[in-house]
């Protein structure tokens, strides 16, 4: 009660309120600066500790002297300027040491010691400041109140530091400020309750008006400058942090090279679109031959190319579109509007990307493929991006500069294809492949002269998988070399059991011809089975020649040197060239079934069939008609001078046990020959 009575009766309340306001502001700034010190290390921490000390010291000092200006003693008073300056140094240095201890050691001991030093600094500043307060009267002190004031300052300072460690954010963080402010205010007014003055008779009362005004102005200016410095430093750092955070957020959401959004930002944009129920299209763009550009011109040129591609895309899409770079050569676009709008933009992109780029004196020509999907066909960002991937892969399968729109059911087809890939990779190990043999017969004699080995895949759950379904897949995933090696070994092993001199023909994939293992597979199959080389015929398509003509020619020469015969399969389709017949060491030309099937009704097919058989005779290469299914087709081939035939009329593919290896002709075949 004495403290309250003393506060009301001996003080000017507006000054008390001003002192309290200064204390609260100073405590808030001090705690904010202290938290910055806690978040930093090294020299940066020392810098923040210094600002914390200046802010705390000025708050303590200004609170004390503003309150003292409002004190109404019954005697004449003055201020000692030296002790006044000493008091502020005590406040700054003492609180600085305390806060430094608390920042370095964040455990309980550091809190108690550091907080205690801060409390003692508050008390020391107050009582040194009271020594600077010169009164023309007898001064006495109530030791109990002095002790209580020091205890309050120390205890509340420790509590404030403990609270700052515990509640760094949220509403409770203000408790720290309140406790530090209470330590300063309660120390002052409890200490003032301990201060008793007995005036000397005849002496004046109060403070000289000039001294009062000068003191008040000095205190206010000094306090505002010091606190203003602390507040400004805090705000500047806060703004710097805000700018840094903005930069970090941009770095986290944008591609540093092109400035486009990155995959993370794309996911957020798609999620936002789904959340709002927006109807939009998603385009996935894949640059063609980007790796070749990097390898040929260097990564610097490749980087500039990406930047210019990004600029063209942004120009086409406009401000309403969203463009992101999500891979080395993949970009994604989100567009509002109809499917027709998305397709229209896609073709604009194709034209823009196909337009040559002039970069550092180089003219770069590239292209792209685009997959498109609609948001309503997916429920998640992951699903939408997966659909676009599927559409893009389909576009890439059909060639360059293609656009493909995702349709319902494609995901299931891709999943089935993936499962087929998985099964295919283990099919050889699980012994799921079988060979069947289709007879090849000479037209002149009607005798079977050989068999073509054809692979069949007996899947444990799917049943018989057609070769057209799994051979291209095996070539794509790279297991055709192993499968082809097995076919060579198995066909030669079976041929060794035949009690005749018929040859076995094996079709070799273009992928196998690119493999260095092919020659060793062939020689090993012959050596292991004991089949003479002249009984093996290697068939190849012109696709293999186009891919690596010189290398294929060398391989064929090596086969011919061993005595192996070589046949050109499916001649007349694909990349047919008469130069291949001239330059390659061929023993047989197999005319594609499409010409045999339509020659009787299509004059162009007839012309091709006649020309190839005549050309074969002229250059000494035997000819064979494929896909013979009718007697009429058989008679036509014979009339044109074709050497051999193969097809269902001659014999269907069958297992070794079911095949007839007799030298006599099939009765149907013999009858047809007899009628000619």
Task: Cite the active site residues.
Answer: 626
Which of 193-232 are b and which e, b meaning 16 or more Cβ less than 10 Å from the residue's Cβ?
A: bbbebebeeeeeeebeeeeeeebbeebbeebeebbeebbe
Q: Which 8-state DSSP code applies to residue 38?
A: H
What is the rounded distance in angstroms from the CA atom of residue 639 to the CA atom of residue 352?
56
Helix (H, G, I), strand (E, B) or coil at 207: strand
Extract the tokens encoding 36. Answer: 């910055």
The answer for 281, left when phi > 0, alpha when psi is -120 to 50, beta otherwise, is beta
Strand-pairing partners, residue 622, are 588
Q: What is the number of other CB atoms lying within 10 angstroms of the CB of residue 248?
A: 11
Q: How many Cα neighbours within 13 Å face the side chain of 415?
A: 6
Extract the tokens encoding 332. Answer: 């994604």
The answer to whether the beta carbons of residues 458 and 432 sit under 8 Å apart is: yes
Bridging pattern class, strands 433-442 and 644-645: antiparallel
The answer to whether the beta carbons of residues 333 and 242 sit under 8 Å apart is: no
What is the rounded distance in angstroms from the CA atom of residue 50 to the CA atom of residue 513?
77
Extract the tokens encoding 46. Answer: 């020392």
Determine the distance from the C-alpha atom of residue 569 to the mean position of all C-alpha atoms in its chain, rounded to a whole number. Answer: 45
Strand order, beta sheet including 403-405:
322-325, 330-336, 280-287, 368-374, 403-405
Rg (CA), the chain: 47
Place of tokens 């107050």: 126
Crossing angle of helices 549-562 and 518-529, in 10° steps, is: 20
DSSP conformation letters of 306-319: HHHHHHHHHHHH-T
User: Which among 482, 532, 487, 480 has a CA at the least distance from the CA of 510?
Assistant: 480
**Three-point CA angle 428, 430, 431, nearest 5°:** 65
Q: How many Cα neighbours within 13 Å face the side chain of 129?
A: 28
């Amino acid at each position: 009660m004495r403290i309250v009575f003393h506060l009301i009766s001996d003080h000017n309340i507006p000054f008390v309120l001003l002192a309290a306001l200064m204390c609260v502001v100073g405590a808030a700034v001090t705690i904010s600066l202290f938290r910055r010190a806690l978040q930093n290390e090294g020299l940066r921490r020392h810098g923040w500790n210094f600002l914390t000390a200046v802010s705390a010291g000025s708050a303590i000092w200004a609170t004390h002297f503003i309150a003292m200006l409002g004190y109404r003693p019954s005697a004449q008073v003055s201020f000692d300027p030296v002790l006044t300056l000493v008091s502020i140094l005590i406040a700054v240095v003492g609180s600085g040491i305390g806060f430094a201890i608390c920042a370095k050691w964040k455990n309980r001991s550091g809190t108690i010691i550091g907080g205690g030093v801060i409390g003692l600094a508050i008390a020391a500043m107050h009582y040194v400041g009271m020594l600077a307060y010169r009164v023309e009267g007898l001064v006495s002190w109530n030791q109990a109140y002095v002790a209580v004031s020091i205890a309050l300052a120390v205890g509340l300072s420790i509590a404030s530091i403990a609270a700052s460690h515990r509640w760094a954010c949220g509403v409770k963080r203000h408790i720290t400020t309140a406790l530090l402010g209470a330590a300063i205010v309660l120390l002052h007014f409890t200490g003032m309750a301990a201060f008793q003055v007995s005036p000397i008779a005849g002496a004046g009362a109060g403070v000289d008006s000039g001294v009062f005004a000068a003191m008040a102005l000095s205190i206010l200016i000094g306090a505002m400058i010091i606190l203003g410095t602390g507040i400004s430093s805090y705000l500047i750092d806060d703004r710097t942090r805000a700018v840094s955070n903005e930069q970090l957020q941009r770095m986290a959401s944008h591609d540093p090279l092109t400035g486009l959004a990155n995959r993370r930002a794309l996911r957020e944009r798609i999620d936002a679109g789904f959340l709002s129920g927006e109807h939009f299209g998603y385009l996935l763009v894949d640059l063609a031959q980007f790796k070749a550009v990097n390898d040929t011109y260097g990564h610097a040129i490749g980087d500039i190319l990406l930047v210019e591609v990004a600029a063209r895309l942004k120009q086409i899409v406009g401000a309403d579109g969203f463009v992101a770079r999500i891979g080395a050569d993949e970009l994604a676009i989100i567009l509002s509007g109809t499917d027709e709008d998305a397709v229209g933009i896609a073709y604009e992109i194709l034209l823009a990307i196909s337009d040559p780029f002039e970069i550092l004196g180089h003219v770069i020509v590239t292209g792209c493929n685009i997959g498109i999907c609609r948001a309503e066909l997916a429920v998640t960002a992951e699903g939408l991006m997966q659909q676009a991937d599927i559409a893009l892969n389909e576009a890439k399968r059909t060639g360059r500069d293609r656009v493909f729109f995702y349709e319902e059911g494609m995901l299931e087809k891709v999943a089935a294809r993936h499962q087929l890939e998985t099964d295919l990779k283990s099919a050889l190990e699980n012994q799921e492949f079988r060979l069947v043999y289709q007879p090849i017969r000479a037209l002149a004699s009607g005798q079977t002269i050989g068999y073509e080995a054809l692979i069949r895949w007996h899947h444990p759950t799917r049943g018989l998988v057609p070769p057209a379904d799994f051979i291209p897949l095996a070539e794509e995933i790279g297991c055709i070399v192993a499968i082809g090696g097995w076919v060579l070994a198995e066909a030669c092993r079976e041929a060794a059991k035949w009690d005749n001199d018929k040859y076995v023909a094996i079709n070799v994939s273009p992928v196998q011809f690119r493999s260095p293992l092919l020659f060793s597979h062939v020689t090993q199959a012959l050596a292991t089975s004991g089949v003479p080389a002249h009984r093996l015929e290697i068939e190849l398509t012109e696709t293999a020649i186009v891919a690596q003509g010189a290398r294929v020619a060398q391989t064929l020469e090596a086969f011919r040197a061993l005595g192996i015969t070589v046949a050109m399969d499916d001649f007349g389709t694909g990349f047919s060239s008469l130069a291949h017949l001239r330059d390659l060491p061929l023993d047989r030309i197999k005319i594609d079934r499409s010409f045999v099937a339509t020659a009787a009704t299509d004059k162009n097919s007839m012309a091709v069939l006649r020309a190839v058989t005549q050309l074969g005779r002229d250059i000494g290469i035997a000819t064979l008609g494929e896909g013979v299914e009718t007697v009429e087709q058989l008679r036509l081939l014979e009339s044109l001078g074709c050497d051999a035939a193969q097809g269902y009329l001659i014999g269907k593919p069958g297992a070794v046990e079911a095949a007839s290896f007799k030298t006599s002709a099939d009765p149907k075949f013999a009858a047809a020959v007899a009628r000619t």
